[in-house]
Structure 1
Amino acid sequence: MTSTNERVEYELFASCLAGFEQFLAAELKHLRARRIRPLHGGVSFYGTAAVAQRVCLWSRLASRITLVVRRVNAGDANLLYEGIRRIPWHEVIAPGASIAVHAHGMNDELRNTHFTELKVKDGICDALRERTGARPNVDSADPDANIDVRVRENRATISLDLSGESLYARAYLEPDAGQDAPLECALSAGALAMAQWGESCKTAALVDPACGDGSLVVEAAGMACDMAPGLARSRWGFEGWAAFDEDAWERLLDEADERFEEGLEAVGGAGTASTSASDRPDLERVRFVGACTSSPAIARARTRAKRAGLRQVVSIEAGDAHVVADMTRRACGVAERLSAGKTAAEDAQRPCLVASNMPAGDRIQSEARAQAEAAAFVKAAQAAPAGSMYVVVGGQGVQGRFGVDAADTLRFGRGRVEVSAQLFMRAPAEMATAVIPDSAGGAEHTVEVFEETSQQFADRLRKVAKERRKWARREGVTCYRVYDADLPDYAAAIDIYTGAGQAEGNTYLHIAEYAPPRSIDEDRARRRFDDILTVAPVVLGVRPDHVFSKVRCRDKGGGQYQGAGKRNYVTHVDEAGCLLEVDLAGYLDTGLFLDHRDTRAMVRSMADGKRFLNLFAYTGSATVQAAAGGAVETVTVDLSQTYLEWAQRNMEQNGFSGPEHMFERGDVMNWITQCRRNPRRFDLIFVDPPTFSNSKAMGKRTWDVQRDHVELLVGVSRLLTKGGIAVFSCNLRSFKPDFEQLEKYGVELEDITAQTIPHDFERNPRIHKCYLVRHVK
């Protein structure tokens, strides 16, 4: 319907991410809003229905636009109901519109938001029935009009959501983009606002050296092409508003279409028409470019640019830091169509905005990828001409690599989504470099590093990797250790995992940092580890996003880790022809202890025709090898249901299922006691206990392998058949078996540690201890 009074102004509120308020206030002023007042988490303003609709269509920084209907007394349920019922809802909700109510906040009398929603809904329905004779339809799933109720102390603010879905959910996002995708769009818009991109977008170039899924490049190109962010949206909350000005809305859409068409032509020139034979841009003319090392991310970024109608003015390419530098120089040297009188030299000095929205906090899955993206950002900044600006959201490692102070630092968002945004006005300082030959025989790589000695690390890693690859190919080993603190100043363990099954063709690195001694400066140790994360993928020819890292701190009981608990990264590897599941990011360990590779091979060789028991089974990799070796029965025991299910998946994907393969959850010591009371016995037992455990599932008991190994091995020996044998291993480097006590109970121990240390762990022969256990009757 069309408003009867186009001059009526309404009180409105634009919500936004924390930190956006001042930028949003400036945007609202540009969109002709009045009486603008920034608040925490949004901006209050006034405007006509046409202004409200314009803001919905054009705002890049607002999350939602709401109409403040009224503030009412919420001292109790009756007062709230009466306040709601007295509102002239026929002037707020369009005839025939369905409604839904969403409440937030509580007080002493209104302690349940669902109850609050019911009282407000009743008040609205009763008011409309009294006025119009009909109650509105209530549709909580897909309403025409969303009523927002916010209770604070004894007052409730009643609002109508004019935007509908969050404005951050851009129309160019793919349907399965995920819940974080709108946040990425918002943070990208915030970065551009911080850099005042709106003032320079018509003439400057933009480079995103770590573009990920491409949101920032699309946002930047959209601004330069004068594209309304909401132009492609098909449904709006204000369509259920009684004051919806349909004529004004059609004029706004016509104006937005015309502005986008003109802007696209001005930016892209003759090559941008949708009838072009190719949807790829002319790379020599494009000045909005993004780079990424992930092929899936590149595909998504290109799709988003195409869905936005910007594919012909946006270039998304694969590339590392050096490719990014070339892209930056090319983007800044694009011929200016509107200034044909400029010389080539003048064109080459076009200023550039180097901007990235990088993962931060829990969103970082690979620290190596974060370092690679930081290096690419700095490389692009170095290639940009004088007068350029550089802004990064998130960007762990960028500040340290930039080497100059940020001109401005802001915090965007709150809680889980809070990130730091930094604006630099000066070019980066020079850093030390390491020269690395290409692993595939191509041109050598020059990478920037914090420490000059990192060249020695690169040389050492390359030398060891060359020998280790030859050994692995000869022995048929696909997952192995390639570096183990070979240089004391670069104290880390680096493992290679070669993908199998659906992951075939992929190579992954798992890097665990040893805690430096107290005599080493923590900042210097951190810089060295950052250099490890930068250098290792280049030396070994592995994509940075396939590198996973954790910090390992030594303590009295063995090892503790920091850096686990990120989003899981599950893939599969092959060991001796068996497919095994590993998680390279989400757990303390990956699910496969590489130092026990030879031990598992020994178990496999001993298992033919045997009844096999795996205690402290972890993910069941030893059970898989025993089954592959011909065990007629397997029993897998662990206290963790998570690991038991993991073990069962490992068995099933190798074809080992059925009643002869059992998985039993329990505290191993209690399980052994129960098993000794029945005739169940085993020909071969594998026991690989943790060094220490105080799991809640154990009750008041704790486990200490040095303290408790006698009780454990005596119990294990009693579960063996005549002539049966157990393989006992532990990772406590100071472990000393109590031979005297064990002998008293008829338990014989044979030390076979030297036979079970693989070649790739020979530098550290104390990585584990291993024994054969027999019951001498």
Structure 2
Amino acid sequence: MQQEKLEFFASCLAGLEAPLADELKALGIRSVRPLGGGVAFFCDVRHALAACLWSRLASRIMLVVGRVDAHLADLLFEDALELPWEDVIAPGASIAVSAHGMNDELRNTRFTALKVKDAVCDRLREARGERPNVDAEHPDAAIDVRVREKRATISLDLSGASLYRRTYLAPDDGAEAPLECALAAGLLALAGWDGRARAGAACVDAACGDGAVVVEAASAACDLAPGLARDRWGFHGWAGFDEDAWADLLDDADARFERGLAAAAAQGAVDGPASARPDLGVVRFAGLSASSPAIARARGRAKRAGLRQAVSIEPGGAEEAGALVERVSAAAAAARAAAGAPAGEAPGCLVASVLGARERSSEASAQADAAAFVAAATAAPEGSAFAVADSEAVEDRFGRAPGTRVELGRDRVAVEALVFHAPPAASAVVMVPDPAGGAEHRVEVLEPASEQFSSRLFKVAKERRKWARREGVSCYRVYDADLPDYAVAIDVYAGAGEAEGNTYLHIAEYAPPSSVDPARARRRFDDVLALAPVALGIRPDHVFAKTRRRDKGGSQYRDAGRRSYVTQVDEDGYLMEVDLSGYLDTGIFLDHRATRELVGAKAAGKRFLNLFAYTGTATVHAAGGGAVETTTVDLSQTYLDWARRNMAGNGFAGPEHSFERADVMAWITETRRKPLRYDLIFVDPPTFSNSKAMGSRTWDVQRDHVELLIGVTRLLTEGGEAVFSCNLRTFKPDLEALARYGVALEDITASTIPHDFERNPKIHQCYLARRA
């Protein structure tokens, strides 16, 4: 199996074979042959990995290992045994085999898969001395067997999971969601979107549903590789996997996306459709919907894709869409004219009206909306391409059955008429008071009980704003699971520095217990996302939503996405950098506001040490409070660099401020052997950690706090003290053990819980530690 002659097969939806072949050719793959249900191609490893990373139209990328005799089960086994599996399956990789198709002899696909599995295991045992592990649920290497008449094709699935399951889909998106992504990508391909997008075309989806069309359109235009954020691939179990080539491909894809996103943001405003906010200019990729829950879902997808800067999902219908199409098309033509391009080459606007059942109040209104939108699209400037995906509208206007090719628009671009079906969702309307005293806002929700959430949020926010103005607090919590069925934490961040005048919402959902219906929990969270910006008067694109999952021993935080949204906020006159999108934690723990102020008040003239320093916010307060020296210690270089920026941004960049990357427990042990001692120490450890940088050791605050505090107090000068904080709600200090080692602990928790966290005083525990 020489690299340059490897055979692959890319499967796809029927009807997309030709566009998929073109897509593979664009990736530099020369030997391409469209077949029924996919495309066969020959290339080296690097190009195969590129196909996995970049294909928008392929469902799976398969490495063809061999074709075998399937006339009899024994022949199938013998031929499969002869295949060079030691050159295909990576050492140590687990496997699973699935089979499809039958003939007269092989009537049971499970039996067929079992025969091939036995052959693979026997071959690898003979070649390596041990059988591979079999993992039917999450194999490292998934082997596919396709039986057709008397032959079978055996392949290795390099995708691992369907490429149609985009990374911007939510974990609880239904089984139909990947198909929506595939249909959207197919519609755009058939409309020639790639070429138009490169020329600066815009895309408007008049009834965007969950946003598949507009997100796929923006992804292609911004040069975002569909597989860029995937963390699990089938080729990780492939012996031929080239890690260096993959790393190069990822680096190149990252750079291309950065450039593409910047270019898209420069070509259009990011704050809302021009029809709704004429002062904001033009949005290149816009989705419109009359359903607030659908808007929330679509915005969530855009954010998870890293496209928040380029995509706008807003309330609206056919009339708003018609006006927006006109503005976008005219602006695109004007921009190209200003650049010296011929007027006749204006790329126009691809218009997709995807009117599924979720968007319909009645069949009659759906047909009326579709007809109105088609009329608006047809009247748009020359050079526009249009796609309508609604069965009734297609039949009424063109007399064709849905699913057939129709020609729309003045330039007669042929596109596929697609039909998206979704179950109708029960809805209710909540009238939300305007926080600025204007007219009430009408918000459609999925759960009638969401009205209670809206009322509670509006009431608490009104009180909290007054308190914040009185106390000079600019970042605070406004809601923390006040209602058990709406278990979210909502924080307000007021921008500072270059972000002065902007206000942001950070919404963290507490993952519901298994006893709660996931679909209902999702509807409630969608309602929260729809209601919160309205009740608080904050721009929807300044809302950042994430999920916090509880684990044994405390809270575990998952990466909320690779794309960051970095801005600055103010705390007690200090500028702090926050990332509202990159991770669940933003870079500043709001419940420690009073604790940081305590550190600052105690720091004058002292040598200060910050352990488990995170982004160094406590160090900023200590330096601002007059500490003569500061030392900031954390295991993460990312957070240390962040801490440096926070310090430098507030004028604390001298040699008296040091930053050390180290495992804190090991650092304490080493420093105890030195004469170096500190007057004030702040230590805020995580609840649990098993970082690879710690080696085989793990950290558990309940288990390890005695050892930690003994070491910390041994670093104190005579009369020095340490501020020890812990966010494990069930934490109980071992006072007896600490006393035996001369550690005195004073509980100061009550004085460190800010007003905006008083409803939930177990958010953290805080102590003063001294040497007895």
SS in 1 for 2:206: strand
SS in 2 for 1:766: helix
C-alpha distance in structure 2 between counterparts of 1:542 and 1:743, whole Å: 51
The match for 1:388 among 370, 375, 379 is: 370
C-alpha distance in structure 2 between counterparts of 1:467 and 1:529, whole Å: 23
- Which residue of structure 1 aligns with residue 353 of structure 2? 355
Q: Report 1:141-180 matches (<5 A).
A: none
SS in 2 for 1:637: strand
C-alpha distance in structure 2 between counterparts of 1:355 and 1:423, whole Å: 10
- Which residue of structure 1 aligns with residue 249 of structure 2? none
Aligned residues: 478
- Which residue of structure 1 aligns with residue 399 of structure 2? none
C-alpha distance in structure 1 between counterparts of 2:623 and 2:610, whole Å: 11
C-alpha distance in structure 2 between counterparts of 1:296 and 1:590, whole Å: 28
Q: Does 1:431 align with 2:431?
A: no
TM-score for the superposition, normalised by structure 1: 0.54
Q: Does 1:770 align with 2:763?
A: no
C-alpha distance in structure 2 between counterparts of 1:656 and 1:452, whole Å: 52
The match for 1:721 among 695, 717, 727 is: 717
- Which residue of structure 2 aligns with residue 659 of structure 1? 655
Q: Report 1:173-212 matches (<5 A).
A: 190-191=186-187, 207=206
Q: Report 1:452-463 matches (<5 A).
A: 452-463=448-459
Change (3 A) 1:612 1:571: same
Residue type matched to 1:548 in 2? F
Query: Could you tell me whether the CA contact under 8 Å between 1:612 and 1:635 is conserved in 2?
Result: yes
Change (3 A) 1:378 1:569: farther
C-alpha distance in structure 1 between counterparts of 2:368 and 2:40, whole Å: 36
Query: Could you tell me whether the CA contact under 8 Å between 1:21 and 1:42 is conserved in 2?
Result: no
CA deviations on 1:507-554 (whole Å, 9 max, x unpaired) are: 111111112233322211121111111111111122222222222222
Q: Does 1:691 align with 2:687?
A: yes
SS in 2 for 1:672: helix
TM-score for the superposition, normalised by structure 2: 0.54
Q: Report 1:629-708 matches (<5 A).
A: 629-708=625-704
C-alpha distance in structure 1 between counterparts of 2:353 and 2:368, whole Å: 16
Query: Could you tell me whether the CA contact under 8 Å between 1:213 and 1:298 is conserved in 2?
Result: no
C-alpha distance in structure 2 between counterparts of 1:25 and 1:666, whole Å: 52
SS in 2 for 1:725: strand
Residue type matched to 2:525 in 1? F
C-alpha distance in structure 1 between counterparts of 2:489 and 2:522, whole Å: 15
The match for 2:590 among 583, 594, 608 is: 594
SS in 2 for 1:721: strand
- Which residue of structure 1 aligns with residue 557 of structure 2? 561
Change (3 A) 1:290 1:739: same
Residue type matched to 2:594 in 1? D
Shift of residue 427, structure 1, vs aligned partner:
11
- Which residue of structure 2 aligns with residue 572 of structure 1? 568
Shift of residue 388, structure 1, vs aligned partner:
2.5
SS in 2 for 1:650: helix
Query: Could you tell me whether the CA contact under 8 Å between 1:436 and 1:539 is conserved in 2?
Result: yes
- Which residue of structure 2 aligns with residue 534 of structure 1? 530
Query: Could you tell me whether the CA contact under 8 Å between 1:408 and 1:424 is conserved in 2?
Result: no
Query: Could you tell me whether the CA contact under 8 Å between 2:185 and 2:216 is conserved in 1?
Result: no
SS in 2 for 1:675: helix
Change (3 A) 1:736 1:770: same
CA deviations on 1:704-742 (whole Å, 9 max, x unpaired) are: 111111111111111111111110000111111111121
C-alpha distance in structure 2 between counterparts of 1:623 and 1:541, whole Å: 34
C-alpha distance in structure 1 between counterparts of 2:578 and 2:278, whole Å: 21
Q: Does 1:440 align with 2:436?
A: yes
Query: Could you tell me whether the CA contact under 8 Å between 1:20 and 1:190 is conserved in 2?
Result: no
Shift of residue 196, structure 1, vs aligned partner:
13
C-alpha distance in structure 2 between counterparts of 1:647 and 1:707, whole Å: 28
The match for 1:298 among 272, 282, 290 is: 282
Query: Could you tell me whether the CA contact under 8 Å between 1:607 and 1:626 is conserved in 2?
Result: yes
Change (3 A) 1:189 1:746: closer
Shift of residue 438, structure 1, vs aligned partner:
2.1
- Which residue of structure 2 aligns with residue 625 of structure 1? 621
Query: Could you tell me whether the CA contact under 8 Å between 1:565 and 1:586 is conserved in 2?
Result: yes
Q: Does 1:511 align with 2:507?
A: yes
Query: Could you tell me whether the CA contact under 8 Å between 1:321 and 1:376 is conserved in 2?
Result: no
Structure 1 residues not aligned, in runs of 5+:
1-14, 29-35, 45-60, 64-106, 110-184, 198-204, 220-279, 281-288, 303-316, 335-351, 358-373, 392-397, 400-406, 410-420
- Which residue of structure 2 aligns with residue 327 of structure 1? 320
SS in 1 for 2:655: coil
Change (3 A) 1:27 1:553: closer
Shift of residue 692, structure 1, vs aligned partner:
1.1
- Which residue of structure 2 aligns with residue 496 of structure 1? 492
Query: Could you tell me whether the CA contact under 8 Å between 2:447 and 2:523 is conserved in 1?
Result: yes
Residue type matched to 1:581 in 2? E
- Which residue of structure 1 aligns with residue 605 of structure 2? 609
Query: Could you tell me whether the CA contact under 8 Å between 2:57 and 2:186 is conserved in 1?
Result: no
C-alpha distance in structure 1 between counterparts of 2:281 and 2:363, whole Å: 22
SS in 1 for 2:561: coil
Q: Report 1:99-114 matches (<5 A).
A: none
Shift of residue 194, structure 1, vs aligned partner:
7.4
C-alpha distance in structure 2 between counterparts of 1:382 and 1:661, whole Å: 69
Residue type matched to 2:537 in 1? G
Shift of residue 556, structure 1, vs aligned partner:
2.2
Q: Does 1:552 align with 2:534?
A: no
Query: Could you tell me whether the CA contact under 8 Å between 2:357 and 2:424 is conserved in 1?
Result: no
C-alpha distance in structure 1 between counterparts of 2:361 and 2:623, whole Å: 52
SS in 1 for 2:770: strand
SS in 2 for 1:423: coil
Change (3 A) 1:325 1:560: farther
Query: Could you tell me whether the CA contact under 8 Å between 1:756 and 1:770 is conserved in 2?
Result: yes
CA deviations on 1:132-189 (whole Å, 9 max, x unpaired) are: xxxxxxxxxxxxxxxxxxxxxxxxxxxxxxxxxxxxxxxxxxxxxxxxxxxxx99978
Change (3 A) 1:195 1:290: farther
Query: Could you tell me whether the CA contact under 8 Å between 1:706 and 1:735 is conserved in 2?
Result: yes
- Which residue of structure 2 aligns with residue 272 of structure 1? none
Query: Could you tell me whether the CA contact under 8 Å between 1:617 and 1:636 is conserved in 2?
Result: yes
Change (3 A) 1:549 1:331: closer
Residue type matched to 1:536 in 2? A
SS in 1 for 2:455: helix
The match for 2:467 among 449, 465, 471 is: 471
C-alpha distance in structure 2 between counterparts of 1:194 and 1:773, whole Å: 68
Residue type matched to 2:476 in 1? Y
Residue type matched to 2:750 in 1? A
C-alpha distance in structure 1 between counterparts of 2:544 and 2:695, whole Å: 34
C-alpha distance in structure 1 between counterparts of 2:527 and 2:728, whole Å: 30
C-alpha distance in structure 2 between counterparts of 1:502 and 1:322, whole Å: 29
SS in 1 for 2:514: coil
C-alpha distance in structure 2 between counterparts of 1:447 and 1:354, whole Å: 25
C-alpha distance in structure 1 between counterparts of 2:18 and 2:733, whole Å: 69
Structure 2 residues not aligned, in runs of 5+:
1-8, 23-32, 42-55, 59-84, 88-180, 194-203, 222-267, 287-309, 328-349, 375-388, 391-401, 405-416
Change (3 A) 1:622 1:483: same
CA deviations on 1:536-591 (whole Å, 9 max, x unpaired) are: 11111222222222222222210123461341221111111111111112223111
C-alpha distance in structure 2 between counterparts of 1:626 and 1:766, whole Å: 25
CA deviations on 1:588-614 (whole Å, 9 max, x unpaired) are: 311111100000011011111111000
SS in 2 for 1:388: helix
CA deviations on 1:432-451 (whole Å, 9 max, x unpaired) are: 12111222333322122111
Q: Does 1:584 align with 2:568?
A: no
C-alpha distance in structure 2 between counterparts of 1:489 and 1:720, whole Å: 46
SS in 1 for 2:769: strand
Change (3 A) 1:388 1:607: same
